[in-house]
A = this chain, B = another copy of it.
Amino acid sequence: MCRFTLYLGPSIRLGKLLIEPEHSLINQSVRSRERKEPTNGDGFGVGWYAPRLSREPAVFHSVRPAWSDRNLRELSRVIATPCVMAHVRAATAGFGVDLVNCHPFSWRRYLLMHNGYIAGFERIRRRLLAPLSDTAFGLVRGSTDTEHLFAVFVDQLLRDGEAANGADPALRLAERLAATLRQVLQAAAAAGVREPHYLNVAVSNGQQAVVSRFTTDPVGDGDSLYLLRGNLYQTTAEEFGERDREERDTAVLVSSERLTPAPGWQAVPRNHLVVIGRGERPRLLALNELAEIV
């Protein structure tokens, strides 16, 4: 069922997010605190943006548990980035642990990752694929529900035209994610799937990011998810260089579990989206209508 962390803000060294915090993602791969099954040892992935060198983000995947991967620790030491999406995987029954099934998934400037599952996925896999353009269909190389959900997302981008972002690109991205979730829920409903879905999905293009905390389970709030704004850690001038305080305070973190015991982490409300634009205050949007698709 996985755990993930998304960061968007001033350039930060990967280790500050993935390794050093008291309850870092690497520690969550060993023992997460807010999942029924605490271990997330079915591979991991990190996607990050390096805008000066490439338009598109890079992705690093491994089928090994995050806790024992030396490459991850090495990369964490020497990479700094203004936007990261990192994910540790717990695969259903431990199967399908393959590189093709690691999150985040990527296409052009976009990265997407997911904690949860699409109920009845094997029964609706065909329905999800059927309406897709050939391009979106061709993106699917593995067997995860997440990769199929991403194909739906990309299909919409292709239909709309990526550039149709308007004046509020973060909101546009939010609408796209909501539309993706809607399409998935409708396909499942049409197939008569009644079991609850768990759809904490994060997507970004390096400048905007949106994260859902969504479930159709009538009980509870779905998988855990937290938001933290502002200057997270005890930073020194060294960390952020000569950037001014105002910029430092624009760091935004959305994470399955709280990386640190610091105050400031707020639980994302059930069935809401966190909508993030670089340099802006994050917004919370309700996903009311989605909850009504049975």
Contacts and interface: CB of A to CB of B under 8 A. Distances in A.
Given A63-B64, A134-B126, A142-B142, A78 B54 contact: yes
Nearest to A75: B58
Nearest to A55: B77
Contacts of A262: none
A97 B58 contact: no
A141 B142 contact: yes
Contacts of A56: 77
A248 B131 CA distance: 52
Nearest to A53: B78
A70 interface: yes
How many of these chains are in the complex? 4
Interface residues of A, number: 50
Contact of A68 (B61, B91, B140): B91
A143 B125 CA distance: 15
A61 to B, nearest CB: 7
Contacts of A57: 78
A4 B31 CA distance: 22
A63 B99 CA distance: 11
A61 B75 CA distance: 11
Nearest to A122: B138
Contacts of A142: 98, 100, 141-143
A294 B63 CA distance: 42
B60 A71 contact: yes
B39 A68 contact: no
Contacts of A50: 77-79
Contacts of A100: 96, 98, 100, 142-143
Interface string A62-81: 11110110110011011110
Contact of A58 (B53, B58, B77, B126): B77
Interface in A117-156: 122-123, 125-126, 134, 137-138, 140-143
